[in-house]
Structure 1
Amino acid sequence: MHMTSRPRWINAMCIGLLAVGNAIAAPVLTPPDPGIDALLQRYDGQVPGAAVLVLHDGQPVFQRGYGLAVVEDGTAVTAQSNFRLASLSKQFTAAAILLLAEDGRLTLDDPLKRWLPSLPAAADAITLRQLLSHTSGLPDYEDLMPPGATAQLHDRDVLHLLETQDRTLFAPGSRYRYSNSGYALLALVVAKASGQDFASFLKARIFTPLGMDASVAHQDGVDDVAHRAYGYSQIDGRWQRTDQSPTSAVLGDGGIYSSLADLARWDAALYDARLLKPSSLRQAFAPATATDETDVPFYGFGWRLNGQAQWHSGESIGFRNVILRYPAHRLTVIILSNRDGPEPYPLALQIARRWLDTLQ
């Protein structure tokens, strides 16, 4: 009987798990898996695709690429395909601030204007902690962009837009409102406090130490994204490349590119002290503020918190991503997709449930 062989990267990454002590071993799935494949059916074939990874106890128990990273030349999605993370980038920006706090270069309760004094008086009371937790009250820069703007903004352009706004949407620290502006400004703070540009700091202090060698805060004309997945949108029934928008060059809120292979290393670092001290990790995952968002009772620093789940989605033109962690069960689901929809968070919940039902 003829059988189609699986790509080598799937076989290499699908490693079985053994029970440790009295712990229950997670079920091992070797792609193709009918249940997960059915959930991801719309991503399969000659269409913009998705990369899916399930980790348990630090080991990949399911990993597969679906569809195409580059539609025009038929390049398939693999574990090394680098997707624009969009707002998954925020957890790295938060980690950079926490590293600088460990270094004694700043404190989380520093006034924002200590680092960015050009902001107007309305920002006097804002602290770095409030930027991290989306409680600053700063307007979102996307609401301040001129109608029809086509030129790409950078993090410093976000600062210049906010310099014209001597107002906040509410008293700083009084409530939650998700703000991309805060994380763009945090990238500028990282640069000022470290003496390195944001992308270089991430490479030197996070990506290189963790072996995330292909991850990058992408700057057009400065670096190249290896194994790049390009973003697409379905327009008039056809998939068309929509990889960049005027906000795509802002790094602190959404400009990082990474892959399943590298994000597995990132996930591992969130369990121990290889990157951040335990006290810093506790701060990142502690409920910093209550929110009124669906499935987000609380927000930490770059992380949404819902009971035992720690998660974040990422949305930008041509990309939809999610990372969903259940640290009590050492379980993580990551979905990266290079298309405008659908949102992968519901898919991640369904995939996670297959393991949670066994582990609980």
Structure 2
Amino acid sequence: MICRLTSPLVAAATLTMLLALSMSIATAQIIEASPELIKKVEAALPDSPGASVLAIDDGKVIFRHSYGLADVENNVPCTPTTNFRMASVSKQFTATAILMLVDRELISLDDPLTKFFPGFPEYGEEITVRHLLTHTSGIPDYEGLVPKGTTLQLKDLDVLQLLMQTDIPLFEPGAKWQYSNSGYVLLGLIVERASKTPFEIFMKDDVFSPLKMTNSNVFQHGLNVVPERAYGHTKQDGKWVRADQSVTSATRGDGCVYTSVDEYAKWLRGHAERRLLSGKSHDAMFSPQVKTSRGDSSYSYGWFLDEYRGEERIHHNGDSRGFRLCSQVYPDRMAAVILQFNCDLQEPTIPIGERISDILIFDREAK
């Protein structure tokens, strides 16, 4: 394992570095990017109708720029305050909500699945909240359980029903790591049941509002709206057309947060200032919990941990219909890169983030 975040002491040091980073963000110290750098970054980005890029180094916002259109159909420009569907980057928000309830002693990481979902198959007695957080539950991904021909969007309770019809897990809980959107859908439902508050309301009142993320939300069609919304797109016959939703785009805990690069910076700052979680929960969230099957990375709670160019990296990508996201944090040098795209990309997101990190952070001194 390459990742060095192996103890609460090191995790605390990492958070101290994030705190220093966040304090500079709070002062809105932004280095104005040159037109040449703006064009260079644009040339390194994949083809997309719109994109937002935020980069921080040594605690300073060194790049903040958006390109193209948030909504091609209505010719709406993309800006740093445009809200994108964060897809699986949303998992860190759900994990935080769970840890907040642990801090409030409303749940335990060792609580079994059957505590929250009576009638779940017997194997749920061996699956804990911790297993769900770390993708070690053995629960199958619900996407593979959706009946053929389904056209209506699945809700969280639909996913729960599909899972309750499975007789055995894919593997014994805790035996291996296997990425599972199902686990985070269930975690969203657990937040709802333990807090006795609808998940989207809990996130708004208990997570976003304290961090002044006033334009961010967990989107629920018919219940709320996304201000300054980016719409997803795909390319057809050489033109960008709207492709914003699929049958799996309405589930909440695994991918339904909408936010902008500006508000995501508030999210990083809120963690660094420990405004949501106890010290114990912070240490756990930024420490490796399990080795993954993706190279030398580990997984904590809603984050991957590894290294890039000799630097510790905390990161996560998002991938859903019409959207691709990338968040990469380098705590040792108080740096971060956040990328948002409103289309399906052909190239994997991690190397895109690394390419932009090279330009804006690691090779910046050479310019």
The two structures share one fold, judged by TM-score above 0.5: yes
Correspondence for 1:52: 53
Aligned partner (choices 317, 320, 326) of residue 316 of structure 1: 320
Structure 1 unaligned spans of 5+: 1-11, 17-27
Correspondence for 1:275: 276
Instruction: Give 1:32 shift.
Output: 5.2
SS at match of 2:293: strand
Correspondence for 1:303: 303
TM-score (norm 2): 0.87
State the distance in 2 between where 1:329 and 1:173 align.
Answer: 34
Q: Which structure carries more helix by proportion?
A: 2
Aligned partner (choices 328, 337, 359) of residue 333 of structure 1: 337
Structure 2 unaligned spans of 5+: 1-26
Structure 1 residue 344 corresponds to structure 2 residue 349? yes
Deviations 1:286-318 (A, max 9, x none): 111111124x52111110111311110000000
Structure 1 residue 245 corresponds to structure 2 residue 260? no
- Give aligned pairs, total: 332
Asked if structure 1 preserves the Cα contact closer than 8 Å seen for 2:73 and 2:241, the reply is: no
State the distance in 1 between where 2:203 and 2:279 align.
Answer: 19
Alignment of 1:87-236 (within 5 A): 87-236=88-237
Closer/same/farther in 2, CA of residues 242 and 191 from structure 1, 3 Å limit: same
SS at match of 1:269: helix
Structure 1 residue 68 corresponds to structure 2 residue 83? no
Instruction: Give 1:237 shift.
Output: 2.6
SS at match of 2:292: strand
Which amino acid in structure 1 is aligned with residue 138 of structure 2? G
Asked if structure 2 preserves the Cα contact closer than 8 Å seen for 1:14 and 1:62, the reply is: no
Instruction: Give 1:76 shift.
Output: 0.8
State the distance in 2 between where 1:119 and 1:225 align.
Answer: 34
* Higher RCO structure, 1 or 2 (CA under 8 Å, sep 6+): 2
Correspondence for 2:362: 356
Asked if structure 2 preserves the Cα contact closer than 8 Å seen for 1:40 and 1:66, the reply is: no
Deviations 1:215-258 (A, max 9, x none): 11000000010000000011233222110100110000001111
SS at match of 2:88: helix
State the distance in 1 between where 2:186 and 2:267 align.
Answer: 23
Instruction: Give 1:327 shift.
Output: 1.2
Correspondence for 1:8: none
SS at match of 1:123: helix
Instruction: Give 1:54 shift.
Output: 0.5
State the distance in 1 between where 2:200 and 2:190 align.
Answer: 12
Instruction: Give 1:121 shift.
Output: 0.7
Correspondence for 1:81: 82
Asked if structure 2 preserves the Cα contact closer than 8 Å seen for 1:56 and 1:330, the reply is: yes
CA RMSD of aligned residues (A): 1.8
Instruction: Give 1:346 shift.
Output: 1.4
Q: Which runs of 4+ in 1 moved over 6 A?
A: none
SS at match of 1:325: strand
Which amino acid in structure 2 is aligned with residue 349 of structure 1? E
Identical residues among aligned pairs (%): 42
Correspondence for 2:9: none
